[in-house]
Chains A and B, each alone.
Chain A
């Protein structure tokens, strides 16, 4: 069971999409796991053959538990009659565990998802009296069909906002406990960016229009390639900078809650590609499914508050990352340009950094570069 983020300590296998004997390629989705942040698709990281499924659907298992065995390409198949063991053991489908995962007792006999259990509690239904679905687990569908629907619960279907709040609380408490945060901020004149965007969008059909989040992500990613101390992971007492910039794009969930799945290699993507990725991510945060790599890979997070919100934010780092960038709303304010006070569109950008890895000066240099890149949006 991979740790799909610092705040995860258990997961429930919902279904296996591959069966023993199936040939797997890197990136294939093998299973769907229910977590506190909704259903996540589990990808494999290498080629091979699915040898054995160790955890059947419906079981709640702690992070680190082996879900299945994959025989790598070129490794000998295990044959019961042959004595010599294969040179390499099949690799377990799991991920490095970043936190000690407490063993979680599994409720014997009853196979029910946490969302379904909460929903059952809310409706006053005894889960033991509900027939399991075709996969042998009691899910939301089974609970919902067991009683007339009550008023709509806040939040997207299948996502338990109370569980998500617990997950956020755990990750943020860990962050505030372990990470010595510092903050720097800079007010950036984004008038040129907004003018360029207005001109660009005026000549684009509505389907191809850009949100300013796309150039923000691109400029941040490019600036981060020169700030290795802000981009990477701090694990087991060691900071490992990341060569690639995988920006977690913080996305709010209606009713409360937040997920920041990764946009991989954001520095190498064009604005249209970034816009497509963002659209896809938001859609899957809201209604669909995120992938395990998107949950595990972010090397830094960008949180963009958006229109009509607040002028600035003081974000909290999502461990094991070492920095988070917070963009306030764009506001029109008086600003001095060439000795004259003129109205300009301004955005206050904050960086929270991890003092175990970097200092405020490095984050200030990042903000300088970020500002410069935003002054030539056409070159992004």
Chain B
């Protein structure tokens, strides 16, 4: 996937678990928590959905790398989902 496709996938995955943020602009480097008040339950649901969508195993220790849009894109690329 290209960076743009990965960004779209990550945005739609987060919107899927937090439908009330649909249509929001994403700041690539701000944490989802800061931007959208994503709490630990939303975040766990996001990780579950991302795993289902990509098949990438995401251990709990890696959660901090997925807190921002840019971080999540980089994580997916480093796990074989980039071009």
Contact = CB atoms under 8 A, between A and B. Distances in A.
A209 B37 contact: no
Contacts of A202: 59-61
Max count, chain A CB within 10 A of own CB: residue among B39, B47, B51, B59:
B39
A157 interface: yes
B18 A206 contact: no
Given A155-B20, A254-B20, A254-B36, A282 B41 contact: yes
B3 to A, nearest CB: 24
B78 interface: no
B9 interface: no
B23 interface: yes
Contacts of B58: 206
Nearest to A159: B20
B48 A206 contact: yes
Contact of B40 (A156, A201, A255, A307): A307
Contacts, number: 52
B20 A278 contact: no
B40 A254 contact: no
Interface string A12-53: 000000000000000000000000000000000000000000
Contacts of B74: none
B20 A306 contact: no
Given A157-B20, A206-B51, A254-B18, A279 B40 contact: no
Nearest to B34: A308
A1 to B, nearest CB: 28
B60 A201 contact: yes
A67 interface: no
Interface residues of A, number: 23
B39 A306 contact: yes
Interface string B24-60: 1000000001001101111011011001000001111
Given A198-B60, A206-B47, A209-B60, A287 B20 contact: yes
A278 B45 CA distance: 12
Contact of B18 (A152, A211, A286): A286
Nearest to A212: B40
B23 A152 contact: yes
B40 A213 contact: yes
Contact of A211 (B20, B40, B51, B61): B40
Contacts of B60: 198, 201-202, 209
A252 interface: yes
A211 B37 CA distance: 17
Contacts of B45: 279
B19 interface: yes
A209 B63 CA distance: 13
A254 to B, nearest CB: 5
A279 B48 CA distance: 13
A81 interface: no
Interface in A249-304: 252, 254-255, 278-279, 282, 286-287
Contacts of B33: 307-308
A279 B23 contact: no
Contacts of B57: 206
A207 B48 contact: yes
Max count, chain B CB within 10 A of own CB: residue among A209, A254, A279:
A254
Contacts of A252: 37, 39
B48 A211 contact: no
Interface in A136-177: 152, 155-157
A206 B66 CA distance: 14
B37 to A, nearest CB: 5
Contact of B41 (A198, A201, A279): A279
A201 B47 CA distance: 13
B48 A286 contact: no
Contacts of B24: 152
26 contacts: A152-B22, A152-B24, A156-B19, A156-B20, A198-B60, A202-B60, A206-B48, A206-B51, A207-B48, A209-B44, A209-B60, A211-B40, A211-B44, A213-B41, A252-B37, A254-B18, A254-B36, A278-B41, A279-B45, A282-B41, A286-B18, A286-B20, A287-B19, A306-B40, A307-B33, A307-B40
Interface of A: 152, 155-157, 198, 201-202, 206-207, 209, 211, 213, 252, 254-255, 278-279, 282, 286-287, 306-308
